Structure 1
């Protein structure tokens, strides 16, 4: 064996170099298994559109209530309807819009819960019944 061989020179003495095995980090050919793509990819525009329309939806329903209890119940109803729409969109439509609906509905329900908690803390009486 020639120990003085340079970095680009093959070793002498009849030894064959080891075959190069790719690490898998960089593909060296066609993929060995199928690659699946999302048919309706989630986009920022879809999330923003779903969020904006849901915020408007919750505000319009919240304005129907004349007091804290009415606001809370209308917000729960509007959020439930929005979630039904989001479930339909997840199955048959744009998942980005469904994501925006879900995020803003959760935020709207959180705001309604905070309003109820503040009123409950101030009055000492549960405002929904």
Structure 2
């Protein structure tokens, strides 16, 4: 299913992946941790979450500025390191944003976060 990915070099793209653990782990580059905050819920008006590399800080991965904003860096000073994937929580399951919603959210995020740049790539 299609969803959004934001990399540490401020590239945003629509990716197509299975939401199984191995696919997610490959996409974020490590063990996957789901992060959800009030900031994301308010922005997306849905139970959105970010899937991050839980060892991103230990690996000294670059800071993801947009993900850190959604994490609440401005309030508590903690960052997100590494690439992130966005998803919607459905209880214990999760899904991507889907075709149309991924495009709409990407357009909105490109406007709201001027540091982001669209990267054209769809994993098949």
TM-score, normalising length: structure 2: 0.24
Higher strand proportion, which one? Answer: 2
Which one has the largest radius of gyration? 1
User: Which structure would you say has the larger RCO, counting Cα contacts within 8 Å and 6 or more residues apart?
Assistant: 2
Higher helix proportion, which one? Answer: 1
TM-score, normalising length: structure 1: 0.24
